[in-house]
Amino acid sequence: MTFSLLPYQVRWVQDGSRLKVIEKSRRIGASWAEAYDAVMHTADSSGNAYYQSYNQEMTRGFIDDCAGWARSLQVGADAVGEAILRDGNRDVKAFRIGIASGKEIVAMTSAPRAFRSKGRPGDLAIVDEAAFVDDLQEVIKSALAFLVWGGRAHILSTHNGEGNPFAVLCRDIREGVQPGSLHRVTFADALRDGLYGRICEIKGDEWTRQGEAVWEAEIRAEYGRHAAEELDVEPAAGSGAWLTWDDIRAIEHPDAGNPDLFSNGSCYVGIDVARRRDLWVAA
């Protein structure tokens, strides 16, 4: 069964901007539309496509979606295969599919330096669920490097706090600090464009306005207080982390926290004050 793209998906794939970013609700099919875009990009010999996300399940799912689109569009493609890419001192498992044009689509988990050796003229960098990948600032820098030689960068994500680098990137584009195209699709936007009708079509159910209202209410109830960020594309205040635990631990003195070494001198305590929930204690 083949399905056409919904209007918000069409707007996304038809945007030919060198850098385009989408801040979106969960589970609206943005990655599926991006798989279509990647297949079309490689099929017309524009360049290779390199995809990153935060876990292996998503990367394999993206490649499977690309294979499905290649079949639907009758674009010649190899069977899905595996490859090993180098990220600094570690190997990164990747999935790949070759297109008849001679180009390929490669998907891997977030590996900041793996993008560094890519980016030939016309290549495409894709970062999916960007707000949740490791070392996003480095990944974004590597993806933007694709633009130097005429390539493109696509960055997709739900939000993960207003301090997250993804939220900062969205603000920078919105305010004109960073050149690029910004798309915003809330759960309500997706419903207006036919998301629930598409779900009914896939499941073989009959669409009704009342059924859609009930389904939306159930989804919102499931997300509870997280619905504003997860569905309404409003990054949560105070969420996200500027410093990772690895960064913090790397500068920690080996004697830190040893009470036997305390000599009654001055002490300094850094506190992340929880204003709304989660009690905190400085002892």
In the chain, what is the straight-line distance between the N-terminal and C-terminal CA atoms, in Å? 62
Chain segment 153-202, per-residue pLDDT in tens? 999 999 999 889 999 999 999 999 999 999 999 999 999 999 999 999 99
| 125 in Cβ contact with 142 (< 8 Å) | yes
Q: Indicate the average pLDDT of the chain.
A: 88
| Tens-digit pLDDT profile for residues 14-24 | 999 999 999 99
Closest of 194, 189, 196 to residue 213, by C-alpha: 196
Which residues make Cβ contacts (< 8 Å) with residue 34, sequence separation at least 6? 12, 13, 62, 126, 128, 154, 156
Return the structure tokens found at 81: 């295969």
Sign of dihedral through CA atoms 142, 148, 153, 157?
positive
Q: What is the DSSP string of 149-208?
A: GT-EEEEEE----TTSHHHHHHHHHHTTSS-SEEEEE-HHHHHHTTHHHHHHHHHTPPP-
CB neighbourhood size of 30 (10 A): 24
DSSP one-letter code for 79: P
Q: What is the largest CA-CA distance in the chain?
A: 75
pLDDT band at 2 (very low <50, low <70, confident <90, very high): low
Rg of the chain over Cα atoms, rounded to whole angstroms, equals: 22
Q: Report CA-CA distances (Å) from 224 to 99, 214, 218, 271.
A: 43, 15, 10, 28
Locate 100 and state its tokens: 């008849």
Please report how many Cα atoms fall inside a 13 Å half-sphere around the Cα of residue 90, on the Cβ side: 8
154, 20 in Cβ contact below 8 A? Answer: yes
pTM (2 d.p.):
0.81
Predicted pLDDT at 109: 83
pLDDT at 50: 95
How would you label 150-166 residue by residue, b for 16+ Cβ within 10 Å and e otherwise?
Answer: ebbbbbbbbbbbbebbb
Tens digits of residue pLDDT in 244-271: 656 776 788 888 778 888 888 888 877 7
Are 38 and 197 a contacting pair, CB within 8 Å? no
User: What mean pLDDT do residues 21-30 have?
Assistant: 96
**Higher-confidence residue: 105 or 88?**
105
Q: Which residue type is seen at 99?
A: I
Backbone angles phi, psi at 3, to 5 degrees: -120, 145
The answer to whether 21 and 182 have CB atoms below 8 angstroms apart is yes
